[in-house]
Each structure stands twice: as C-alpha cells, then as structure tokens.
Amino acid sequence: MLLLLLLSPASPSPSLPSRYSRQSYALGSSAAARLLSPSSSVLVLCRPTGCAAEAVKNLALAGPGGGVHVLLLPDDRDVDDPLAGIYSFQDSDQDSDQDSDQDSDQDSDQDSDQDSSQDSSQDSSQDSSPPPAPLRPIALASLNPTSPYSCSADLPSYLNKRQPSPALVLSIDVPPSYRPPPALARLLNSTTHLSLASSAFAAHLSTTLRNHTTLDPNPTPRPDVPVAAISPHPSPSPDAHPHVFKLSTHDPHSFGLRDTVLLSSSLTKVTQLPVEVVSVLSPTAVLVSSPIATLSAEKIPSASLSPPPPEHHDHASPPPLPPPLPSCAPYFPLQIYSASVLSHEALKILTSSGLPLGASPPSRLHTTDWSRQLKPFLSPGHATAGTLQGLFGPPLLERAGRARPFVVGAGAIGCELLKSLSLLPGSVSVTDLDKIERSNLSRQLLFGDSDIGSFKSSTAAARLRALPHAPGFSISPHTCPVSSPSLSSQFWSSATHLLTALDNVPARVFCSRRAVSNSLPHVDSGTSGARGSVQAVVPGVTEAYHDVADAPVEETPVCTIKQFPYTKEHVAHWGRGVFEDLFSSQISTATKYASAPPALLHSKFGDDAERQIALVAAVSSFEPTRETALEWAAAQYRRLYHDDIQALIDQYPESHEDEDGNPFWSGTRRFPTPLAEAGGDSAAAMFIETAATLKLRVHAAGLRPEAFEKDDEENSHVEFVTACANLRARNYNIGAGGDEISVSECRKITGNIIPAMITTTACVGGLVMNEYIKMLLAGSANLEKHSDSFRNAYVNLALPFFTETQPEPPETFASSIPKFSSFTGWDRLVIKPKEGKKMTIKRLLKVLRKKLGEGVEISSVSWGGILLYLDFLHEEDEQVKNMGVLEAAKEAAEKEREFAADDREEEGGDGAGEEAEDLDPDARFLELKVTAQNQEGGEVLVPIIKCFLN
C-alpha cells in the first residue's frame, strides 16, 4: 500500500535542549522555558569568595537565557578560602588578556629560570625532569557554552556593555560598609534583589521582591501584623518626582542596598524587602506591614537615588544578626549550602515558580547557623583563624590525611562531593559504571561536551587532579558496579568512610549493608527535583539506611502494559517495548540464527519457533530502500493498532464476563478501539517516518541492533516511542481531548529520568560534607561520644522548607540467645573455624547449635537472599552438609543467575533485572542470615552471623 509514501516527515514536538531535560522536569516545561528566555539575566555583585563562586557556578549551569554577569568588588580579606581557589571568575576575553600577561611574566620568569638551569646544566651533568602540568581552576565562563557570561571589576564598563537591565541582582559577601555609586544604586533600587551575607558558620539570606505578587485592589488590614500608614512629606523642591517615594527600613545590621525601596503611585505589583507592602492606597499614602523594621517614607528627587546613611531611631530594633567575621576563615560546606539556597531563590524569581523566601512574612529572612553543631570541635582561637585548620585545630587535616573515603556515584551529587573532598587531604576512591550523557551537563560541573561517552568516575578523577587541590589529596577511580568482586572485601575493610550519591534504592541498600558489615561511618544522600535528603549513620549508634529505606516501587503487571493499559505511563512503556522488539530483539535474533537449521530454532523456541523462523527470514531478506521501509512501517502500524487490537476484541468481546459473572471490561480495563488506516495526523506520520528511518539505519549498519538512547535528539528513538504511545493511547481512549504525551514527557517516563537541579544537588553536597567533616573531627574512637552533633536533613527548596533532626537509634531486638538477650542490626555473632579447618555447612550448624543454646533448632541458613541450607530438604543430605560454606554460596549464586537469565529470556527482557550478588573469591568471611525456632515452635531471633571461612 502506497498511501503513506507521500507523507512528509513529522515535525518533532518542541522541546528544550537535552542538556536541560532533567532540570525542565524539575521546574516544569513552561518555567524552564522562561529561564532560557533572553530576558532572564542575572547581575552578581560580589567579592571573589567561595560562596560567590558557588552561586555563579549554580546559575551558569542552570543556564539563564540572558546570562550571568559578575561585577567583582575588591577582595580585602586576609583569610584562606580554598573553595574560591578552584574557580576562575574571569570571562574568556579577560582570560586571554590575563594569559598574555601571565605568559609574558612566566616567559621572563622562565627565561631567568632557563638561564639559571642552563648555567647549572653546564656545571652539572644531571638530567632535569619536566615540570608538572600547571593546575588550572574551573573557568566559570566555560561551564555552559549556551548561556552568556561576563565578569568585570569596572562598573562603567559593565553598564556600557549591558543595555537592558538585569531581571535580578544578587549581592554576595558584600562588605557591610559598602555604598554603591549612584548609577549602581539606581539599578539596584529598581530590580529584584537577593542578598547573602555569611560568616564562618552562619549565613543570612534576605529578599527584596519587585513586581512579583499582584496587589489586592481592595485591601483588608491584617490583624496579625502591625500596620502603619505612611505618607510622603511635601515635595521640598520642584525637581522632585511627583510619583516616587522612598520607603526605608532602618536596620543597622543590613548594608544600605537592602534597606531602600522605591514606590510609585502607579505601582500595580507588590514591592518587598523585609517589609511587606500590603497595598498602595493612593498617590500619597501607602499601607505597610512590618513586624521587624522601623519605617519612614519621603519624596526624593528622581536624579538622586543613592540611599542616605542610616538614621538613628529610638524605636525597638529587631534582634541583632551575627556580624560578619571578615578575619575568620570561611567554612566551605556552609558556603556551598548557602550559595545553593541563594541560587535556587534566584531561579524561582526568574521562572516565576515556587514560593520565594520573601513572599510571606515568616520567610523573609533565611538564617542558617551550624555553630552549635560544630562548637565541640572548634579551636580556642577560631574567631580570628585565617585557615580551615585554624578553625578546628590540627586534628582536622591530620585525620583527613589518614582517611580513605569511598564515594559511590560520580553523578550530580557525586561531582559535588568529589570537588569538596579535593579541598582536604586524603585518599579518595570513587566508583560509577555510568558514562556521561548530554543531560548530565546542566548539573555535573566536572564534565563538559568533550567528555560525553566517557566514564564518569575516571573523567571526574582526571579533572580533579588538574584542579587546584589540597596537598595530600589523591583519587582512585573505578568503573564497576558497587557489588563487583573487584571491590573486594579487603577494599571495603580498608575504607574509613562511605559517602553514597546514588539514584536507586537497591544499590543504596547494598552499600548500607556493607557499611554495617564493616562498621563504616556512612552518609547517604539523594535528590529529586527541589527535594533533597541526607542521612548520617554512626556505627552502633544510629539506624542504618536499609533500616528505614523506602519500599520498592510496585511494578505494573506485564499484562496491564501489553493488553489493558489505562495511564500514560503504561502506553509509554509499551512504546519502549515496541522499540526494543523491532530494532533490538528481532535484529539480534536474526543475526544470531540467520544460518541456523530449523531444528535448532524449534528446540530453542518451542511453540514459538514458527513465528521466530518467519521473523528471521523477514529481517534477513529485507531490501533496504526508502519505499520498502515505508511499506514495512505501514505494515507495523496495521499490525499494532488494528490487527492486534481486533484480535483482543475477538478474544474478549465487549459483553464478555469474567469467571465470577462480572463484566470483563470494567474497573481499570478499557475496551479498546482499532485504529483505521494511517492518515495525515501527526502521531501516525511520526510513527511511519521514524519507524522507516530506524529500519533503514539498522540495515545500513549491517543489522546492528539499536540501543535505546534518550538524550540523543537526532536519533529518532524518543520520537518513535512517543508516536507509539500516543497511537496506543487512542486505542484505549487514554488522555482524551487532545492531551497527548509530549516528546519530553515520554523521554522522562521511558528513560526513568529523575528530575534534578544543580541547586538541590549542591545544597545536599554541602550538607553531606558538613556531616563528613564532623565525623573526621570526632575521630573513629569518639563517634558515639559526639553522636548528638550529627544531623539528618531534609530540604525542599521550592517551598522553601528546611529541617535537620538528630539520627534515630537503631531498633533493638529481644532474644533468648545466651550473650545476646538483645541486639541491634549492628551486632554480629562471630563464628570462626578451628585452625587449619575448612568451615563446612555441617561444622557451621554444629557451632551455631552450641552458641544458640539447647532447645534451639536451626531452620535455614542463607546468604544474600540465597538459601544455603533448609532443614527439611538438607537434614539428611550429607553431600550438601559437607560442602564448604564458600563453595555452597558460589554454587547457589550461579544457579540463581541461571534461573534469572532463563526468566529474562522467556519474558523477552533486556537483561536489566536484579541478579544474585557477586561473590568475592578472596572473601575472608560471609554474613549469613539464620532462622531458628525453639522447642515450642516459636521463632528465635538471631543476629547476623559473621562466618569466617578459614
């Protein structure tokens, strides 16, 4: 049939660049589009501190369409700021200028060095080794090539370059005494403004919102907030603007930029600082509520908008904020955390999404204070310390240098952790089997476009070695699963801390169990969109992650997806299955069995052999031309959306009843409708075009299967699956009324994409590093003594919501076992074989019976969920009982893998299911779970058995 041959290629649904896919799912597509608009530009007024660099980094990666533009103030601090040292603020133009200057300086230095070296070489015959490559900081200008960036220390230069006003101004670590020149003051007074001031262990964020919340034209005074009516003074001079008034808060603890707001009688939007303007009553009066500030208002000349010096009032002042400590070294975890909160507030304002901190009176000022948690560890002279070691004394760097933290995951949070760990000495290990994808680049600062397709862990390690880092820092990358035997029991026992940055529960549970097995201090973390969590785990003192892990998500039955879908997720996953069948499974089968005799296929596929033989023949004999590809695509359309649906209706007519006499097509089951021949609608056209394109590509590559890739915008994979899903939805009347699945929505569902944002991952990274440093400061011998210093944290930056709680103690179990009247998940019952003896199942049972006491019968012994011994099966089986424990575990694990492989092959899966844990061939011990009962048949609780093998 040729009716489809004239169809033009389907135009893809509009979508955001794949670099921002996970961010767009977190923000929402419309908010993400507003962020990428050219009008979304940010001016950052700051000193070159680590906090400012982090905020700029977060915004640069988020990619506002108008760019990030930095106005640098002089750095008059006399402190060590290691976080600032790994970033470079200068943009590319200035870099080139500086490079040339530095080159000339270096040339002259090198000339003198070379002269001296040549002189010395004439005097000595010793060879000189080449100098190491210079360490280069992360250039903030290079983090996001799609978003403009500039940096200047010259205000006139900035104002000349930037004609449009920025949508938002951030001031970060600006000195309290700073007074802006009039031109900058005018800009600040007319623009939404966020201010962040920080000391060593406290940060204060305040917001001045402009044109954000629509005013109520008929305001009602609020009884819960003090109200004052403010009227302007008579105009003192004819040049005063008749409609502009200055409304000031007189707060000696905030610098001049933040305490002035300009109001116009034509104002139709609310303007806030820490004051809340409830309504503009008239051109000459403003109703203001302010529970925290003293207010005044006056008309001012429009040509002189620079704020005057603070006035002194006798009114009660709010509780004073801790003053900045310019002589005290910054604490980099707090710099990272507070910068992430600030930058997320900026994103909310740029995208008009979420609830800004300044949008309601309780949240006008966000204050973070970690000083109480860290107080036990501070050195006597910390208030004037100029270095990180000065804050905490020698123990921090000494213990960090001996530490061997193991980081699992080099993705979004993992990059943040590795960056922070490079600021401390220590031998870091990291593993991640994933490779870098384009969608990673919006939140993983250690990767760039040239790294796509490379392993995350090895790329991150190489980047960190090239960055300025602490003396004594080293990193060893691995590219294997965390359960791999290559990460041996000796490797785990050599680690001192475990930091997990994983996005799936099974892997986190595995790591948690390994941490408990090896008594490792553990900090777990995770994010989803604007939400993030951190759990600090202290051996023997707190509950472990797997004690409170989220229950696994219930999977949808296969029959629901294949025959009875009722949600968009069902049809999207069905479309992914069609892709795997047509362009992966069928191609692999045809390649494997193209020349196989029919007898082999019958023995392999049984009742399904005839269908498989026909598929192999069809794939092998296909002539790849544009015309044949379109005809093939049309045939697939008829089969999937008409013939298969009609066959289902023939099997279960609309009047069909189930075994109980109830209507079969009821509840979530939707009666389907076959689709007619493909016409010119968009979903059918996209299906035909993308199916034909993929068919030709597979055959042009010599029958090479297509591996589904969600982030490649040119490969037609997600477009094909989207078309499949929308046509399937029409079969079952899902999303009626034109509510079709978009390409980006389908990418999220079928790619199992977890919404992610750089601000949330950075926030969580700062919280994790705070817990890790407290663990270092406490020392392994005193973790229990300092257990009240550790915190679990949960944040939702969108609300915003922040909470920290002390970790819960582990659950205690009562038992009748001698020496174990009660135990927790940290306790182990240790069993060792006699010297020179192998630990067999029989010997294990004998020792267990002795340790568990009389009258206790052992029902089963298992390892990693795999049964090694079951009493009613193996009580008389001497062959099993005489096996070594290690051999029994190896054999059971191999059988488990064989069963899993057979199940996947029967179900036509892609091999992504769970498998038995890999067994370390050099394991010194295995942890076994034992079930037992007493003589009355009651259960006897038994701790985990730590069984040494030799």
Q: Is 559 a catalytic residue?
A: yes
Distance between CA atoms of residues 513 and 511, nearest Å: 5
- Residue 178 and residue 50 in contact, taking contact as beta carbons nearer than 8 Å: no
Distance between CA atoms of residues 592 and 605, nearest Å: 13
Structure tokens at 762: 């950075």
Q: Residue 700: how many CB atoms within 10 A of its CB? A: 10
Q: Which residue has the tokens 């010793």?
A: 126
Distance between CA atoms of residues 461 and 453, nearest Å: 15
- Residue 203 and residue 196 in contact, taking contact as beta carbons nearer than 8 Å: yes
Residue 308 DSSP class? P
DSSP characters for 743-812?
A: HHHHHHHHTTPPP--HHHHHHHHHHHHHHHHHHHHH-GGGTTTTGGG--EEEEETTTTEEEEEPPPPPP-
- Residue 802 and residue 422 in contact, taking contact as beta carbons nearer than 8 Å: no
- Residue 298 and residue 260 in contact, taking contact as beta carbons nearer than 8 Å: no
Distance of CA 933 to the CA centre of its chain: 45
Three-class secondary structure of residue 476 per DSSP:
strand
Distance between CA atoms of residues 851 and 830, nearest Å: 10
- Residue 391 and residue 201 in contact, taking contact as beta carbons nearer than 8 Å: no
Three-class secondary structure of residue 853 per DSSP:
coil
- Residue 510 and residue 865 in contact, taking contact as beta carbons nearer than 8 Å: no
Q: What angle do CA 757, 760, 766 make, to 5 degrees?
A: 140
Burial class (CB in 10 A: 0-12, 13-18, 19+), 528: middle
Q: Residue 755: how many CB atoms within 10 A of its CB? A: 19
Q: What is the largest CA-CA distance in the chain?
A: 109
Distance between CA atoms of residues 236 and 714, nearest Å: 66
Structure tokens at 931: 């079930």
Q: Cβ contacts of residue 715 below 8 Å, gap of 6+?
A: 706, 709
Distance between CA atoms of residues 159 and 177, nearest Å: 23
**Of 284, 277, 237, 241, residue with least CA distance to 261:** 277
Strands 522-528 and 531-537: antiparallel
Q: What's the half-sphere exposure (Cβ side, CA atoms, 13 Å) at 573?
A: 19
Distance between CA atoms of residues 521 and 357, nearest Å: 35
Distance between CA atoms of residues 332 and 50, nearest Å: 7
**Of 253, 256, 258, residue with least CA distance to 275:** 258
Strands 295-301 and 240-249: antiparallel
State yes or no: cis peptide before 800, omega within 30 of 0: yes
Q: What angle do CA 230, 231, 234 make, to 5 degrees?
A: 150
Structure tokens at 700: 């042009």
Q: Which of 46, 51, 151, 559 is catalytic?
A: 559
DSSP characters for 82-119?
A: HHHHTEE---HHHHHHHHHHHHHHHHHHHHHHHHHHHH
> Residue 606 to residues 128, 454, 584, 596, 610: CA-CA distances in angstroms?
72, 42, 21, 15, 9
Q: Is residue 248 within a helix (H) or strand (E), and if so which, with residue range? A: strand 240-249
Distance between CA atoms of residues 94 and 729, nearest Å: 55
Catalytic residues, by residue number, are 559
